[in-house]
Structure 1
Amino acid sequence: MKIKDIAIIFILLLFAAVISCQVVTGQQLQRRGIITPGSLWLDNNRNTIQAHGGGIILVGSTYYWFGEDRAQGLDPLYKYVGCYSSEDLVHWTFLSKIKFAAPKGFDPHHWVLERPKVYYNRKTKKYVMYFHLDDARYKAAEIGIAVSNDVDSGYQFVKHFRPFGMESRDIGQFIDDDGTAYLIFESRPTHGFVIARLSDDYMSVEKKMCLVKEPLEGGALVHYKGLYYVIGSHLTGWNPNSNVYATAKKVSGPWSPFKNMAPSETNTYGSQSTMLLKVTGTKKATVIYMGDIWKPAAQWDSRYLWMPLKIGKGKLWLPKPEPWEINIKTGFVKFANK
């Protein structure tokens, strides 16, 4: 064997060792209550968390995380939504794989369920799930709704439709400080996305609040210190891009011009927006960017990029990812390397 070949093998082995150490370090930090963006994230059973394109709700003192389950070996005739619970946003307990069959009129071998979002209605005591429902060619472009009495099981498919007669693909969820629930959906023919208010029982899309005229997907929204901040991703498929943000005094707009939320050359550190999660503590409110790092050739291994944002006075910025922890009670964030 030539010296050059030996050198190449040595470099590859060294690289593999470094990657292995990074994974172990991420898991060790998780056990200490630290989130490592982009690292392998495990549930209580030591399985990779499957909650892609997901959303989070807070019921009492418990957070529930729902998202697409893209694990290997699933029955291709069904679509699965992963459901997890946590008290601290770091350690997640697996609750269930919520299974859905294709709705009537959809080919059971070729249909799509993406970006599930669950709302808890305190009046009806129901859990209402919205999701992007489509055919394999993405021509249906509809919203699907399922409902349950329990957070992690018993979801019954209710209906599917195009909201206001408009195409709907990527969806996002937002619950305002006054408890009003909204749905965000991308409507490609309009070259924008819609922010819509849900009905009191959350079972229908009641009022179109505004059309944000920007061709974006992965829409997410948060209300912070008197301003609304909306973020979105450009239309580049699985490939990451430079996500952007805008602000408004009202959810109905008008919205400011969009600006980059991270250095453009980073492509949002390889991620795509899925949700803005506000943790309101006794001392501080922290807004967490929830993003997906997609791996189209190995979707089961797609990762999550969560980072606290620098936000306020009309500006929003995603810092360079690094390990961090949050005190749920106070809302304060600490960085592991500082």
Structure 2
Amino acid sequence: MLQTTRSSITPGQVWLDTKGERIHTHGGSIITVDDVFYWYGENKEKSTPGSGIWHYGVRCYSSTDLYNWQDRGLIIPPDLDDPTSPLHPAQYLDRPHIIYNAHTQKFVCWIKVMTPGEPTQRSTVLEADSILGPYRIVRSWLRPLGMNAGDFDLVVDPTDGKGYYYFGRVHSELICADLTEDYTDVTGYYSTHFPRRQPPFVREAPSYFARDGLHYLITSGTTGYYPNPSEIAVAPSYHGPFTVLGDPHVNDPSRTSFRTQISSVFQHPHKKDLYIAIGDRWLPHYTDDSSAALQAFEEHFGQEQGGDVEPMDELTTIDTSTADYVWLPLRFDGSMAYIDWKEEWRIEDYD
């Protein structure tokens, strides 16, 4: 593909790097180091149906404008030789999150890993001296607090450097756990939030941000790769209590978060009030018609008062190598945050 220099963000359109190749940072986040933006996530370039490849490592790109991204390669390569390694391509490696520890001067990466055929979701923790690696595993197959830990986000308090780990206790509730001083484990202190009876009502994919002294979480329902309504909640502290404010995508009649699942919220360091919701459109060709979305929701997941939720087989039959990205700015009205659809928008439009 021929890549031209970008000067705007076009949500849902194919995003190419500076070499003209499709960007692969799924379930991704952005970290800023020395005024350079690093966008990293799951490398799905080989994750086609029937390949047996869930991921091909963690890929990272760098940019100075958030439009044009240079491929910096696999900062965490797959382990091709050991099928029992959490980094083997057949393991269900998801949603890497990297934070910087000013005390240890290490970049710390947590990754969620599921093993095919097993119900347990566990974590692997890695460290590096540079954002681009090399990363080395310091903990494998961790069950934080002895729990089945799913989608998550990592947070560092900007004033005291304390770390927090928001994760989904799978098919149950959301947990906020304090991290140890080196950010590679949990201390044992935690709080519980958003208890739900069963999927699809259980919350997952927590994305944290703070604004005006308040702590926000945007979460998704549990519907596999099918999009569903997001939910935003706010609290006076990291540990809550959280008040649910509703779906921030109020202008989406399909109630599918514009066919997107948010993976993180990035606060621009040089803009007064620009927060960007970074999301994956796992099913680019999935209709945004509300009746079709509702039908898929009901057929695959049942009703809250119904019986057992039937598992879906789309985990291995969907071509995630063609998934796209949806970046949208947040709009604030009091304590509520909204996410409006924009066909195209520019960083320069914000103060």
TM-score strictly above 0.5 = yes
Match 1:180 to one of 145, 151, 162: 162
- Aligned equivalents of 1:213 and 1:266: distance in 2? 20
Look up the match of 1:72: 46
Letter in 2 for 1:277: F
Look up the match of 1:50: 24
Following TM superposition, by how much is the alpha carbon of 1:40 offset from its aligned partner in structure 2, in angstroms? 0.9
Look up the match of 2:67: 90
Instruction: Quickly say closer, same or farther: Cα 1:323–1:120, change in 2 above 3 A.
Output: same
- Aligned equivalents of 2:58 and 2:347: distance in 1? 26
Following TM superposition, by how much is the alpha carbon of 1:297 offset from its aligned partner in structure 2, in angstroms? 2.6
Paired residues for 1:327-338 under 5 Å: 327=348, 333=350
Look up the match of 1:81: 58
| 8 Å contact kept, 1:79–1:113 | no
Residue by residue, what CA displacement relative to the aligned partner does 1:298-321 show, whole Å, maximum 9, x if unpaired? 211101111101125220111013
Residue by residue, what CA displacement relative to the aligned partner does 1:69-101 show, whole Å, maximum 9, x if unpaired? 000389949741111111121111111113132
Look up the match of 1:233: 220
Letter in 2 for 1:333: Y
- Aligned equivalents of 1:262 and 1:39: distance in 2? 19
Report the secondary structure of 1:182's partner residue. Answer: strand
Residue 249 of structure 2 is aligned to residue 262 of structure 1: yes
Instruction: Quickly say closer, same or farther: Cα 1:67–1:107, change in 2 above 3 A.
Output: closer
Look up the match of 2:235: 248
Letter in 1 for 2:149: S
| 8 Å contact kept, 1:276–1:287 | yes
| 8 Å contact kept, 2:277–2:329 | yes
Letter in 2 for 1:254: P
Residue 48 of structure 2 is aligned to residue 60 of structure 1: no
| 8 Å contact kept, 2:228–2:257 | yes
Following TM superposition, by how much is the alpha carbon of 1:147 offset from its aligned partner in structure 2, in angstroms? 1.3
Residue by residue, what CA displacement relative to the aligned partner does 1:260-288 show, whole Å, maximum 9, x if unpaired? 11135241000001001111336x12111
Instruction: Quickly say closer, same or farther: Cα 1:33–1:303, change in 2 above 3 A.
Output: same
Following TM superposition, by how much is the alpha carbon of 1:66 offset from its aligned partner in structure 2, in angstroms? 1.2
Look up the match of 2:135: 155
Match 2:113 to one of 116, 128, 133: 133
Structure with greater helix share of residues: 1
Residue 12 of structure 2 is aligned to residue 38 of structure 1: yes
Match 1:220 to one of 203, 207, 215: 207
Report the secondary structure of 1:270's partner residue. Answer: coil
The one of the two structures with greater contact order (alpha-carbon pairs below 8 A, sep at least 6) is 2
Residue by residue, what CA displacement relative to the aligned partner does 1:168-203 show, whole Å, maximum 9, x if unpaired? 1112223333243322211125x2111223222212
| 8 Å contact kept, 1:55–1:173 | no
| 8 Å contact kept, 1:118–1:127 | yes
Look up the match of 1:288: 276
CA RMSD of aligned residues (A): 2.6
Q: Gaps (5+ residues) in structure 1?
A: 1-22
Residue 268 of structure 2 is aligned to residue 279 of structure 1: yes
Following TM superposition, by how much is the alpha carbon of 1:122 offset from its aligned partner in structure 2, in angstroms? 2.2
- Aligned equivalents of 2:85 and 2:267: distance in 1? 38
Instruction: Quickly say closer, same or farther: Cα 1:321–1:210, change in 2 above 3 A.
Output: farther
Instruction: Quickly say closer, same or farther: Cα 1:126–1:230, change in 2 above 3 A.
Output: same
Instruction: Quickly say closer, same or farther: Cα 1:138–1:242, change in 2 above 3 A.
Output: farther
Match 1:99 to one of 71, 74, 77: 77
Following TM superposition, by how much is the alpha carbon of 1:138 offset from its aligned partner in structure 2, in angstroms? 4.7
Q: TM-score, normalised by structure 2?
A: 0.79
- Percent pairwise identity: 27
| 8 Å contact kept, 2:193–2:242 | yes
Which range moved further: 31-40 or 268-277?
Answer: 31-40
| 8 Å contact kept, 2:52–2:90 | no
Q: Gaps (5+ residues) in structure 2?
A: 196-201, 284-316
Residue 325 of structure 2 is aligned to residue 319 of structure 1: no
- The aligned length equals 302
Look up the match of 1:299: 320
Q: TM-score, normalised by structure 1?
A: 0.82
Letter in 1 for 2:263: T
Report the secondary structure of 1:170's partner residue. Answer: strand
Look up the match of 2:311: none
| 8 Å contact kept, 1:78–1:99 | no
